Amino acid sequence: MELRSGAPFWPIADGLIAAYPPLERDETCDVAILGAGITGALVAARLASDACDVVLVDRLDVGMGSTAASTGLLQYETDTSLVELAADLGIERAVRSWRAGMRAIDELEALCAGGCGFSRRPSLYLASTPNDVPALRAEYELRAAHGFAVDWLDRAELDRTFGFINEGAIRSSGDAEVDTYALTHFAISCAIDRGARAYDRTEVTDIRRDDHRLTLTTNRGGIISAQRLVVAAGYEIAKYLDRSYASLHSTWALVSEPMPDLSWWPDRSLIWETARPYLYLRTTNDGRVAIGGADEPWASSHEDPALMRTKTAHLLGRCARLFPEVTIEPAFSWAGVVATTPDGLPYIGSLPADSRTCFALGYGGNGITFSMVAADVIREWWAGRAHPDAGTFAFER
């Protein structure tokens, strides 16, 4: 399965950050990580910082799968509203999952240390239609009751501040944006500085387990012998699980030419909406506008060039309805695969049959935030401790 198509912006803008060799010799390590996208990179950096001996391997070039297609929004709010999540998991676990996302964004900020295009941004969650206002208002009240930093904006305030004609919105703080591709390479460099080894263009073709170790055979001839395995293979996970845990969709995105003036975009907020599939927007650190959404329920739809043109025009049209006085000139457009889970949360943890393998599946619109959460959970798993939020993200939840 192809994970993306078109011309994602960040790998082109960043250029060749680093090169990694294929695995053509045998390796022995504490933990092997299968997948060198953003999830595998953050897990590697976390484990290596605790003196864990790590080998990272990917069948593609580092960061060139779904990571390259990410638009880099960092939000603690999940695609599933807090109201819906509380009904599914209970309010305590729902709130804990959101607070775990907030901590993850703080940790990403510390890791980036002013680089990787990281910037704090407020979030604006718009009611797409007047009929959406009551549910959005209930969502606001639940968030506020549990201590999240949110404000309710009515139509008058939205018009005054943004020029929007929507009937209501939640404005929240605590979110951010990042260059996911740059962050992936930076996290791997941090891991390598602490002794990790990273290999790409190397496919693991077989995994065998005995009483003491796991043996990973690759198509390059090298063999990895590890005490434990982390599977961070993203949307290519099906061959490692006995059933599907997520639905795959296609999604589209574009980035504009640089805009000389973004003063018409208050606070350069992250913007998204209640409609499903939703539209979302952000700015970039070099003054461009990124627009994404228009999901379709088929994982292969993104490969259709005609649909790429149609979806690009659709995204531009939806943006024009928000900002009718602004002309957005697209420079890059692309599409890719995205996965959604029934409750909007990731799957992080082991299956009962194999406690030595841990999965890190940061599915949904908060994939990067979930990847940082996974890094924290897996660090505790390696140390033989139970992370306090592990049950919230476990397969058996």
Which CATH number goes with the domain that contains 299?
A: 3.30.9.10
Of 318, 340, 362, which residue sits at a domain end? Answer: 340
Give yes or no for residue 1 having a pLDDT over 60. Answer: no
197 and 335 inside one domain: no
332 and 194 inside one domain: no
In the chain, what percentage of residues exceed pLDDT 70? 99
Average pLDDT over residues 214-234: 97
Amino acid at 264: W
In a domain, 294, yes or no: yes
Q: What is the CATH number of the domain that holds 20?
A: 3.50.50.60
In a domain, 45, yes or no: yes
267 and 382 inside one domain: no
Q: List all residues 6 or more positions away from 160 whose beta carbon is below 8 Å from its beta carbon.
A: none
235 and 251 inside one domain: no
pLDDT at 394: 96
Two tokens at 202? Answer: 């190397």
185 and 333 inside one domain: no
241 and 353 inside one domain: yes
∠ at Cα 33 (177, 344), nearest 5°? 45
Give yes or no for residue 324 having a pLDDT over 60. Answer: yes
Q: Count Cβ atoms below 10 Å from residue 17 Cβ, excluding itself.
A: 15
Q: List all residues 6 or more positions away from 301 whose beta carbon is below 8 Å from its beta carbon.
A: 250, 307, 335
Do the beta carbons of residue 78 and residue 85 sit within 8 Å?
A: yes
Q: For residue 314, what is the enclosing H or E element?
A: helix 305-322
Q: List all residues 6 or more positions away from 214 whose beta carbon is below 8 Å from its beta carbon.
A: 32, 207, 208, 225, 226, 227, 228, 229, 356, 357
226 strand-pairing partners: 29, 214
Amino acid at 350: S
336 and 251 inside one domain: yes
pLDDT in tens, 233-265: 987 887 788 788 888 889 999 999 999 999 999
pLDDT in tens, 343-387: 999 999 999 999 999 999 988 778 999 999 999 999 999 999 999
Would you say the C-alpha torsion 346, 351, 355, 356 has a positive or negative sign?
negative
In a domain, 89, yes or no: no
Distance separating alpha carbons of residues 45 and 211, to the nearest angstrom: 28
Distance separating alpha carbons of residues 9 and 257, to the nearest angstrom: 11
326 and 189 inside one domain: no
pLDDT at 235: 76
pLDDT in tens, 66-115: 999 999 999 999 999 999 999 999 999 999 999 999 999 999 999 999 99
Higher per-residue confidence, 4 vs 166: 166
Give yes or no for residue 59 having a pLDDT over 60. Answer: yes
pLDDT at 180: 97
363 and 312 inside one domain: no
In a domain, 125, yes or no: no
230 and 349 inside one domain: yes
Enclosing domain of residue 203: 4-70+181-245+344-393
In a domain, 106, yes or no: no
pLDDT in tens, 101-157: 999 999 999 999 999 999 999 999 999 999 999 999 999 999 999 999 999 999 999
Average pLDDT over residues 162-188: 97
Q: How far is CA 122 from CA 42, 142, 266, 339, 352, in A?
A: 24, 19, 10, 25, 40
Going by pLDDT thresholds of 50, 70 and 90, the confidence category of residue 34 is: very high
Of 323, 340, 357, which residue sits at a domain end? Answer: 340
**Half-sphere exposure of residue 4, counting CA atoms within 13 Å on the CB side?**
22
∠ at Cα 95 (91, 98), nearest 5°? 145
| 3-class DSSP string for 72-119 | CEECCCCCCCHHHHHHHHCHHHHHHHHHHHHHHHHHHHHHHCCCCCCE
314 and 354 inside one domain: no
**Half-sphere exposure of residue 13, counting CA atoms within 13 Å on the CB side?**
22
**Half-sphere exposure of residue 118, counting CA atoms within 13 Å on the CB side?**
22
Distance separating alpha carbons of residues 151 and 146, to the nearest angstrom: 13
251 and 327 inside one domain: yes
Q: How far is CA 243 from CA 61, 166, 233, 249, 332, in A?
A: 27, 41, 15, 17, 36
In a domain, 144, yes or no: no
Going by pLDDT thresholds of 50, 70 and 90, the confidence category of residue 3 is: low
Going by pLDDT thresholds of 50, 70 and 90, the confidence category of residue 20 is: very high
Distance between start and end Cα atoms, the chain: 29
Of 340, 360, 380, which residue sits at a domain end? Answer: 340
Q: Into how many domains does the chain fold?
A: 2
In a domain, 132, yes or no: no
In a domain, 235, yes or no: yes
pLDDT at 158: 97
pTM of the model: 0.95
Phi/psi at 351 (5° precision): -95, 155
